[in-house]
């Protein structure tokens, strides 16, 4: 019996060492959380320590996230009028449950929803009062690109730039943010892709900071949920996406003042579109290109103030986009 006891004690010692290693890796002494790691064999394990039954639990990566099972579609019978090409979802943030999901793992183009990640990386890596300077790269040749009209040498704070980029979806401002925060656009894009991997958005790849179409610039509706959900952790982001318009003064290369007023591209905030009764649209981000179609991600609340993330991607025109979004929002429980 002593031999068996010795073996069991050795097993407990080895298991204890594994737990200590896991705790040290996370930097937490209790209930450590783990970021997303490709090929990790630790992310969803529990470690039991000692004979008393006390446990150290490595918090699963998706412990605080809504998860979509199977092929990326759930409860699709509840909405029968969604277009075949559309990806859509509704997530209850309080209960971390998926109310509706349609093709959320299908690869799609994000268009200007890309700017959510641009804002997130900027907020994570710089203060809002950081002064940005526009280079000659803000002169964009794409005639269809939404622009604020920046000129080389123009300066503004990151806070001003984020407002203009997120409210008006200005592509030239997205380039300025990338260059000033990343040092180069290329380095900033690497930061965007690294952040996507950290969040578990493994079906996403960015090649620019504004969302202009390219076959190698793609995401999924579920990945956009992960990215938008993380951006909502910043109060500045929440404030901006709720604003119907914005006026500010920045400066040209000689220090002269330049005033700009922009209006939100979100038609709910412009009162052009109305959500279903009992639903309040807090704000969100639009995106439109020929390849991506019409896209929209929203933060919404029910009559009790409970938060939801609603996503519609690849609608064929603006009217269809808001029609489909209202279908999704209609699934928010009443009362």
Question: What pairing do the DSSP bridges indicate for beta strands 307-315 and 280-289?
Answer: unpaired
Other beta carbons within 10 Å of 234: 17
pLDDT at residue 7 in the model: 43
**Domain tally, the chain:** 1
Distances (CA, A) of 186 to 15, 112, 127, 182, 209: 44, 18, 21, 8, 9
Residue 314 forms part of a structural domain: no
Closest of 328, 323, 331 to residue 311, by C-alpha: 328
Residue 281 forms part of a structural domain: no
For residue 6, give its domain range.
2-57
Say which residues have a Cβ less than 8 Å from residue 35's Cβ, sequence separation at least 6. 61, 198
pLDDT at residue 141 in the model: 83
pLDDT at residue 143 in the model: 72
Is 100 within 8 Å of 72 (Cβ atoms)? Answer: no
Residue 249 forms part of a structural domain: no
- pLDDT < 70: residue spans in the chain: 1-62, 335
pLDDT at residue 144 in the model: 73
Say which residues have a Cβ less than 8 Å from residue 203's Cβ, sequence separation at least 6. 105, 107, 218, 219, 220, 222, 223
Residue 23 forms part of a structural domain: yes
Residue 28 forms part of a structural domain: yes
Is 45 within 8 Å of 58 (Cβ atoms)? Answer: yes
Q: Is 296 exposed, middle or buried (0-12, 13-18, 19+ CB in 10 A)?
A: buried
- Helix-helix angle 221-231:185-199, to 10 degrees: 100
pLDDT at residue 125 in the model: 98
Instruction: Name the pTM for this structure.
Output: 0.83
Report the residue count for the chain. Answer: 335
Residue 41 forms part of a structural domain: yes
Residue 11 forms part of a structural domain: yes
Q: pLDDT (tens digit, 9 = 90+) per residue, 24-53?
A: 443 333 334 455 555 554 444 333 444 445
Q: Is 105 exposed, middle or buried (0-12, 13-18, 19+ CB in 10 A)?
A: middle
Residue 64 forms part of a structural domain: no
Q: Label residue 61 left, alpha or beta by phi (over 0 means left) and psi (-120 to 50 means alpha).
A: alpha
């Amino acid at each position: 019996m002593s031999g068996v006891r010795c073996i069991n004690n050795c097993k407990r010692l080895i298991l204890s060492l594994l737990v200590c290693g896991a705790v040290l890796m996370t930097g937490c002494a209790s209930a450590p959380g783990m970021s997303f790691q490709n090929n990790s064999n630790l992310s969803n394990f529990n470690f039991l320590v000692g004979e008393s039954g006390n446990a150290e639990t490595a918090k699963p990566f998706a412990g605080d996230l809504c998860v979509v099972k199977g092929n990326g579609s759930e409860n699709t019978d509840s909405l029968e009028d969604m277009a075949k090409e559309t990806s859509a979802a509704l997530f209850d943030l309080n209960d971390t449950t998926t109310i509706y999901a349609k093709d959320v793992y299908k690869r799609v183009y994000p268009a200007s929803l890309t700017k959510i990640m641009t804002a997130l990386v900027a907020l994570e890596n710089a203060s809002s009062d950081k002064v940005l300077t526009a280079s000659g790269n803000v002169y964009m040749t794409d005639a269809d690109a939404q622009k604020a009209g920046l000129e080389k040498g123009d300066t503004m704070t990151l806070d001003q730039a984020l407002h203009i980029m997120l409210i008006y979806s200005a592509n030239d401002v997205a380039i300025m943010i990338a260059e000033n925060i990343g040092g180069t656009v290329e380095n900033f894009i690497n930061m965007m892709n690294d952040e996507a991997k950290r969040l578990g958005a493994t079906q996403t790849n960015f090649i620019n900071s504004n969302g202009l179409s390219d076959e190698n610039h793609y995401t999924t509706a579920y990945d956009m949920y992960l990215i938008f959900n993380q951006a909502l952790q910043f109060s500045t982001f929440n404030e901006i996406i709720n604003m119907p318009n914005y006026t500010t003064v920045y400066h040209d290369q000689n220090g002269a003042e330049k005033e700009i007023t922009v209006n939100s591209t979100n038609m709910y905030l412009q009162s052009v579109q109305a959500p279903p009764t009992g639903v309040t649209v807090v704000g969100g981000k639009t995106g439109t290109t020929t390849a991506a179609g019409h896209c929209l991600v929203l933060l919404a609340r029910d009559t009790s103030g409970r938060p939801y993330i609603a996503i519609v991607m690849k609608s064929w025109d603006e009217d269809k986009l808001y029609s489909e979004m209202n279908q999704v929002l209609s699934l928010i429980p009443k009362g």
